Structure 1
């Protein structure tokens, strides 16, 4: 089987996965934004513009805007969680140089690299939805406060509790995936480095 097409195919798959990740995060952020705007506009005004918002051109523009929002939310969530991520990484790597070296070491193993990419994909989605959960909670509370609903106080309390649970849940998932990724990377790097001298020809050990 020819190897010439693999790097290009791998790049296409990675780009597609990244697009989907950003869109998944962006759709949640867009929903929160629409909720906040709707709360400000009010119930009667939103009834008037609802048919326009449901049109195909607006839906297409919303999808494109969701992608842009996804990038912004991903960067914002990464900025907020970076100090904690660095503390988690310091458990397994003494410096940024050691971490970069470890990633380069396992990059030659396609299976390990693919698994690492998958883990990072899940981590980025959970990271983005930590922030999305908070934004959606705020949006729903504003909507409940502004729109004509029954049991408003109960709904606001329930939304706040559910939003808090989602924030904690996505944060816990992000932390678990992040710690597991650093731990596996450290172990795999040690295994590869330990096996290199015994290979003679420099071929990495199979995984």
Structure 2
């Protein structure tokens, strides 16, 4: 009796990882959107709307909105960093054709391809959170300007400095992951093909013919 076909674990894992990746980026984006809304409507209206945010309906809408915003932020961050990414890629691949061929050769090794996908997932999260952190810093400052509390200038300055430093940290992490990914791809796809003999190394004292 034949069993019903089951989804391939690698494909299912990749789809799950992509969903989580977009959601992680989207959570930051929807938080920045909420801070912007607080800055626009002010403390009094925010206090009136606070009980509504705890409902199940609001949680469902928030989750869907976070996923949708995650897609937008990912595309926006990719567009902003594409020129720099292409510049980094030219260190290891002279043309788009060479890069595409290397990606095709890497696909022949499922283990290496899975590792590369994991590295690209981390890269995309860092890329999205570079933009997220800038948005969170800006909207947090705007929201705090609508409230009166002690040491507000000091807290605003500290928030801005911390936000800018964190955004730079995410950018540096994205850059390091991108360079490492290209370097490993170049190394892994230029190895001798399976079954091809490796040239013998000359032994000390031997005489070349």
- Calculate the TM-score normalised by the size of structure 1: 0.90
1:7–1:175: structure 2 CA closer, same or farther, 3 Å change rule? farther
Question: Once the two structures are superposed, what CA deviation does each residue of 1:81-120 show, in whole Å capped at 9, x if it has no partner?
Answer: 0000000000000011100000000101011001000000
Partner of 1:124: 124
Q: In structure 1, what is the Cα distance between the partners aligned to 2:178 and 2:116?
A: 11
Partner of 1:170: 170
Q: In structure 1, what is the Cα distance between the partners aligned to 2:65 and 2:7?
A: 30
Q: In structure 1, what is the Cα distance between the partners aligned to 2:33 and 2:150?
A: 24
1:197 Cα deviation after fit: 5.6
Q: Structure 1 unaligned segments of length 5 or more: list them.
A: 200-207
Q: In structure 1, what is the Cα distance between the partners aligned to 2:140 and 2:80?
A: 23
Q: In structure 2, what is the Cα distance between the partners aligned to 1:112 and 1:8?
A: 18
Of the candidates 189, 192, 195, which is equivalent to residue 193 of structure 2? 195
Q: In structure 2, what is the Cα distance between the partners aligned to 1:53 and 1:38?
A: 13
1:15 Cα deviation after fit: 0.6
1:49–1:28: structure 2 CA closer, same or farther, 3 Å change rule? same
RMSD (Å), alpha carbons: 1.4
Partner of 2:87: 87
Q: Structure 2 unaligned segments of length 5 or more: list them.
A: 198-209
1:92 and 1:183 in contact (8 A); partners too:
yes
- Calculate the TM-score normalised by the size of structure 2: 0.89
1:162 Cα deviation after fit: 0.4
Partner of 2:31: 31
Q: In structure 1, what is the Cα distance between the partners aligned to 2:85 and 2:195?
A: 33
Partner of 1:64: 64
How many residues of Structure 1 are paired with residues of Structure 2 in the alignment?
193
1:86–1:7: structure 2 CA closer, same or farther, 3 Å change rule? farther
1:39 and 1:147 in contact (8 A); partners too:
no
Q: In structure 2, what is the Cα distance between the partners aligned to 1:105 and 1:7?
A: 25
Matches within 5 A, 1:104-183: 104-183=104-183
3-state SS of paired residue (1:19): helix
Higher radius of gyration, 1 or 2: 2
The answer to which structure has the higher helix fraction is 1
Q: 4+ runs of 1 displaced by more than 3 Å?
A: none
